[in-house]
Each structure stands twice: as structure tokens, then as C-alpha cells.
Amino acid sequence: MTLSEMRRWLDSRGIQLTRSLGQNFLHDGNQLRRIAAAADCQPGDSLLEIGPGLGPLTELLIATGFPVLAVEKDQRLVEVLRERFATAANFTLLHDDALEWLKRGSHDWTGWKLVANLPYSVGSPILVELALGPCPPERLVATLQREVIQRIVASPGTEPYGLLSLLLQVRYEPAGTFGIPASCFFPPPDVESSCVTLRRRTPELLSAAELTCFVRVVKLGFSQRRKMMRKQLRAAWPEATLDAGLAAAGIASTARAEDVGLEAFVTLTRHLHAASPTSPPSGPSPV
Ligand code: SAM
């Protein structure tokens, strides 16, 4: 879909773009092909696209022949998409707020891959919601503002490392990023963009119950990222349990969450969960 085709669709329907919905459409064919290729489609795959917009990526996904499910919030764009892809038998379109829709139901994403140029304002919570659900997608290929992608793939001890890095990396391994210049979008966004590929870890690092505990540990740990993590965790676990867990994970009692790596958080979680397996759940929430 070229820039002039995009303009034609918008002009013919009198559509004024809505900034709050992050409506920056990707018109660069090379970048669109790179995003679609990152899905590495295999027999049996199904593709989820959130925020299809006018459908420049959607058309490449439909062309793979795999089932494509797209969720778009803007009714005006839903009408364009219905017209553009009226004859595509492998395409299903939902008119909904994707974040609300994900939170409403319990979805089984086994065999699914997310491939999306996400709405930037809700991109992180959408990824977390997908990643921490009971049956998450095999792969997440997501375009977002560069600074958010840096947070997703960050390593301990670096500025962007934090809650978002851990909530996604606990189930997904970063498998590459590439930058997309602002000039590839219409209209060009004010921020730089990147695309990340996240591959689901198999086997899982933690059981479902342990994962709930992990979310609690990292949220508490990062509630005051510049302070010693032990102090925050003391509010939820007895000191003896906590100290045994920290020692087992090789975490100094003076450590700050921002210096603790995924593996250490996982070991700590296993110990804390084993010591109090019925601790109250804390599900995914926007980050
Ligand atoms: N995928 C298209 C592209 O690459 O050109 C459009 C991407 S644009 C960055 C984000 C799209 O997400 C817009 O079409 C916008 O209307 C839609 N959107 C915004 N918030 C949404 C939400 N909560 N749920 C579903 N779609 C949303």
C-alpha cells in the first residue's frame, strides 16, 4: 500500500486522523516486508494483528495464506478494511478496543503469532497482557517507539531495564530489533520507532502459579527502583524466607532491583513461592 493509496482512502472518506489513537501509518514497503518476515510463518500458524489501520501490514499477512485476526478500534478504519479485504477468506476483523478485548476474555493463543505496528499509547500493556496470559502467543513481532523497545530488550544494570523488561523476558527471548525511520510513516511520528521480535521460551522458566508470584516479586522490587529491593519485599514475605531466597538466588541483601537479572529473579521466585504457595495472586496490569 503506497502513501498515495493511503491518502486516497483517507480523502475519499473524509477521515481526519486521530492522534490519541496513534494513527501513524506505515507506508514503506521494505519495512513492512521486514516486519512480516520477522513472523517466520510456519505451517499451522495463525496471525494476530492489533491496530491494522488502513491495512498496509494486513495485506502482507493475508497474502501468506495463514489465518489472520485483526482488532481495530476506529470504526472508520474498520469500514475501510472491510471493503479492502472483502474477498479474503483467511481474514477476520474485530471492531474493538484491543486491550479491553484481551482483558475481557481468556484467550488461547497457542499456535498464534502477534505481528503488529501497535498503537503506541497502549502498546506496552497490550504486550504484557498477551505475554502473561494463560496460553501466550508463540512469537511477538511488535513495532513501537524505540525507547519502549529498548526497555523490552534491556539487560540488568542499564537505564532502560525494569518491570517491562522482566514481565516480557520471563516468557520471551528477544530475537532481534531493527529501527524504522519516522519518514516511513504517514504522518511521521514525533518519536523514533523500532520493531522487536520476541520468541516464546520453551520450556517455560516458571509454572503458572510461580509466574503469578514472579509478577508480585518484580512489581514490589521495582516499586522504588533506586532503593534496596529487600526492603520492599519484606512487606510481603517473612524475613527468614526472604533471606533464604535471596541467598539461593545469589542476590546481595543490599541489591537494587535494577541490578538483578532475570535468572536471579526466577530463582528467588521459586523459593518464595515454595515457601508460601498460596500468596495472593497479582495478574498482569499496564506498565
Ligand atoms: N498497522 C497500521 C500501519 O502499520 O499502518 C496502523 C498502525 S497505527 C500505529 C495504530 C492503529 O491502532 C491505528 O489504526 C489505531 O486506530 C489503532 N488503535 C489505537 N488504539 C487501539 C486499541 N486500543 N485497540 C485496537 N486498535 C487501536
Instruction: Report pLDDT digits (tens) over 149-160.
Output: 999 999 999 999
Question: Looking at residue 67, which CATH number applies to its domain?
Answer: 3.40.50.150
Q: Final residue of a domain: which of 171, 200, 229? A: 200
Side-chain half-sphere exposure of 156, counting CA atoms within 13 A: 15
Q: In angstroms, how far is the first alpha carbon of the chain from the final one? A: 33
Q: Each residue of 165-188: pLDDT tens digit?
A: 999 999 999 999 999 999 999 999
Determine the distance separating the centroid of ligand 1 and the alpha carbon of 199, expressed in angstroms: 23
How many beta carbons lie within 10 A of that of residue 188, not counting itself? 12
User: Which of the two residues, 226 and 50, has the higher pLDDT score?
Assistant: 50
Number of structural domains (the chain) is: 2
Cross-strand pairs, 46: 112
Alpha carbons 47 and 66: distance in angstroms, whole number: 7
Closest C-alpha to 194, from 146, 242, 132, 153:
146
pLDDT classification of 284: cutoffs 50, 70, 90: very low
| Contact 246 CB / ligand 1 (< 6 Å) | no
| Model confidence at 245: pLDDT above 80 | yes
Is 151 a domain residue? yes
Residues 149/196, Cβ–Cβ less than 8 Å: yes
Phi and psi of 140, rounded to 5°? -120, 115
In eight-state DSSP terms, residue 281 is P
Residue 248 confidence (pLDDT) above 50: yes
State the pLDDT at residue 49: 98
Distance 282 CA to ligand 1 centre (A): 28
Nearest CA to ligand 1 atom 3: 25
pLDDT at 25 (0 to 100): 97
Domain hosting 101: range is: 3-200
Answer yes or no: do 188 and 124 share one domain.
yes
Q: What is the pLDDT of residue 287?
A: 55
Evaluate: CB of 53 within 6 angstroms of ligand 1. Answer: yes
Question: Is the same domain home to 67 and 188?
Answer: yes
Portion of the chain with pLDDT greater than 90, in percent: 94
- How does pLDDT run across 82-124, given as a tens digit for each residue? 999 999 999 999 999 999 999 998 899 999 999 999 999 999 9
Q: How confident is the model at residue 278 (pLDDT cuts 50, 70, 90)?
A: low
How far is the CA of 17 from the CAs of 6, 13, 27, 73, in angstroms?
Answer: 12, 11, 15, 13
Taking residue 118's Cβ as centre, other Cβ atoms within 10 Å add up to: 22
- Higher-confidence position of 4 and 285: 4
List the Cα angle 95/38/189 in 5-degree steps: 60
Domain identity same for 231 and 178: no
Using the atom order of ligand 1, give the atom closest to the CA of residue 71: 25
We report the CATH number of the domain holding residue 233 as 1.10.8.100
Distance of CA 171 to the CA centre of its chain: 11
> Can you tell me the mean pLDDT for 187-200?
96
Mean pLDDT, residues 127-146: 97
In a domain, 285, yes or no: no
From the CB of 56, is ligand 1 less than 6 Å away?
yes
Report, as an integer, the average pLDDT of 45-60.
Answer: 98
Instruction: Output the CA–CA distances (angstroms, integers) from residue 221 to 65, 144, 184, 231, 271, in the order listed.
Output: 44, 26, 39, 9, 15
Same domain, 224 and 133: no
The per-residue pLDDT of the chain, averaged, comes to 95
Q: How far is CA 162 from CA 47, 107, 124, 246, in A?
A: 29, 27, 13, 19
Enter the DSSP assignment of 52.
Answer: -
Q: What is residue 106's predicted lDDT score, i.e. its pLDDT?
A: 85
Alpha helix ranges (H) inside the chain: 3-12, 29-38, 56-63, 75-84, 98-104, 123-131, 146-153, 163-169, 208-221, 229-233, 239-248, 262-275
Q: Which residue, by CA, sits nearest to atom 21 of ligand 1?
A: 73
Q: How confident is the model at residue 282 (pLDDT cuts 50, 70, 90)?
A: very low
pLDDT band for position 281 (cuts 50, 70, 90) = very low
The residue from 200, 216, 246 where one domain ends is 200
